[in-house]
Structure 1
Amino acid sequence: MNLALLFEDDFVSADRAVLTGRRLAHLNSVLKVSEGDLVPVGLVNGDIGTGLVVGLSDTEVVLQVELSEPPPSPLPLTLVLAMPRPKMFRRVLQTCASLGVKDIWLINAYKVEKSFWQTPWLSEENLRENKVLGLEQARDTLMPRVHIRKLFKPFVEDELPALLHNTRALVAHPGTDTPCPTHINEPATLCIGPEGGFTAYEVDKLVEAGCEAVHLGRRILRVETAVPVLVSRLFDACN
């Protein structure tokens, strides 16, 4: 946790916040804070700054908060991602949040198992937890939005064209002719398939909607690897 992300209900006054639970445990066991220490903090969807430890006990830490800097700029990227395996999904979501991806669409595909949609990681509570973990890692505060679409064809035909408007639209798929572009200077929409990839039909539908099919070379990558590789190839994500 490189930044303690604060929510409005953490504040007991305009400049004082009380933390418990996971954040308290991290401050105690990892950072080993004492009264008088400064810790990096940020208000969700707001500025970042510091929290002065003015009270500390086994049950809570009280911070006097000063917020003075804007968070990192978000990437101009819409990510359309076929639902990954649940054990992989939380890592992918945290990675997206850390990289600055703010608009994530989880979609169905032929090779997405129906059971994936039953995972508890898709609950609002768990989605928020993993987005928070990614933001705290990257010292960011802007909460990503996650949209869930369980029907492939209606999404691609009815919603995707509007998402692609005025963006560089790409679908990453091994075996295509065009290498993925690098360091682009325009908004982009990136579609990434499940383990095993999109089917030929699905790629054709995405291309019909306006996407360009691109590849990363001969190597076949897992989704959790392909996401950061593609994002970092398209944008200078770590700036």
Structure 2
Amino acid sequence: MNLILLAPEQALSETLYQLNARQQEHITKVLKKKHGDTLRVGLVDGLIGDGVLDTEHWQVSLGQLTIAPPKALPMALVLALPRPNMLKRTLMNITAMGVKTVHLLNSAKVEKSYWQSPVLTEASIHEYLIEGLEQARDTVLPTVYQHTRFRPFVEDVLPPLLENRLGLVAHPYQAQACPVDLDQASILAIGPEGGWNEFEMEKWTAAGMQSVHLGDRILKVETAVPVLLSRLYPAK
């Protein structure tokens, strides 16, 4: 946690916020801060600055918040729903790297039981996104959509999203090398561990998506995501 991220419901006044139990534990055990110490804080969807810690009431008094959050990646990510234990790590990584729009999508190789997982509840997803923001010292929450039907997404939802964007679909076969250092907005679709099937690839191609690969190695989703993002939009 590189940032104490404060939500609106924690506000006691315009400049005074109540710290929750998780924040209190981190401040005590990891940051080892004491009463009167300064903390790096940020407001959800707002600015970043410093705050003064009050351990008697476990509150933080805000100073001036003048630092803007890091710039978002100009991309929307479409992700075939991974296994629940992988989804948490993947969402945290996606958020930490600056993706602000995520579409979780069904695929022929996605187990139906994955959609019933408690990991997909609004509260759980929110928790993972917050952890990703705290890691990256960011404040702007991504928006996560869930699509349980593949074809309606590709035929109805995707076309307007592709306007003025480069569409890329990660696929290890019959694809060109993934581009490096894009200078335009994009949509990137990453499939399940078993890959997109032939029908799905036909639908992606028909929608205007270009197939790209990362070489001969087949990577797990949680590895492929940061590799692709850092290749398309490397840090500068």
Note the 1:1-239 alignment, pairs <5 A: 1-53=1-53, 55-57=54-56, 60-66=57-63, 67-236=65-234, 238-239=235-236
Aligned to 1:166, what secondary structure does the other structure show? coil
Read off the aligned partner of 1:102 and give its amino acid letter.
K
Partners of 1:74 and 1:43 in 2: CA distance: 16
Name the amino acid aligned to 1:194: P
**Counterparts of 1:117 and 1:51 in 2: how far apart (Å)?**
40
Q: Structure 1 length as normaliser, TM-score?
A: 0.96
Inter-partner Cα distance in structure 2 for 1:212 and 1:84: 22
Query: CA-atom RMSD, angstroms?
Result: 0.9
For 2:201 and 2:172, the matched residues in 1 are separated by 11
Stretch moving more, 13-22 or 129-138: 13-22
Task: State the Cα deviation string for residues 1-30 of structure 1 (Å, max 9, x = none).
Answer: 000110112111111111021111100111
Distance 1:41 1:63 in 2: 9
Q: Which amino acid aligns with 2:39?
A: V
Give % identity.
47
Q: Deviation per CA, 1:174-226, whole angstroms, max 9, x where unpaired?
A: 02231000000100000000011000110110110110001100000000000
Q: What's the secondary structure of 2:31's corresponding residue?
A: coil
Q: Normalization by structure 2: what TM-score?
A: 0.98
Q: Secondary structure, in 3 states, of the residue corresponding to 2:154?
A: helix
Structure 1 unaligned blocks of 5 or more: none
SS of structure 1 residue aligned to 2:78: strand
Q: 4+ runs of 1 displaced by more than 4 Å?
A: none
- Secondary structure of 2:59's counterpart equals strand
| Alpha-carbon distance in 2 for matches of 1:171, 1:207 | 9
User: 1:32, CA displacement in angstroms?
Assistant: 1.1
The 3-state SS of whatever aligns with 2:180 is coil
Q: 1:164 deviation in Å?
A: 1.0
CA offset digits 1:33-61 (Å, max 9, x no partner) = 111211111100000111111x204xx52
Give the AA of the match of 2:135.
Answer: Q
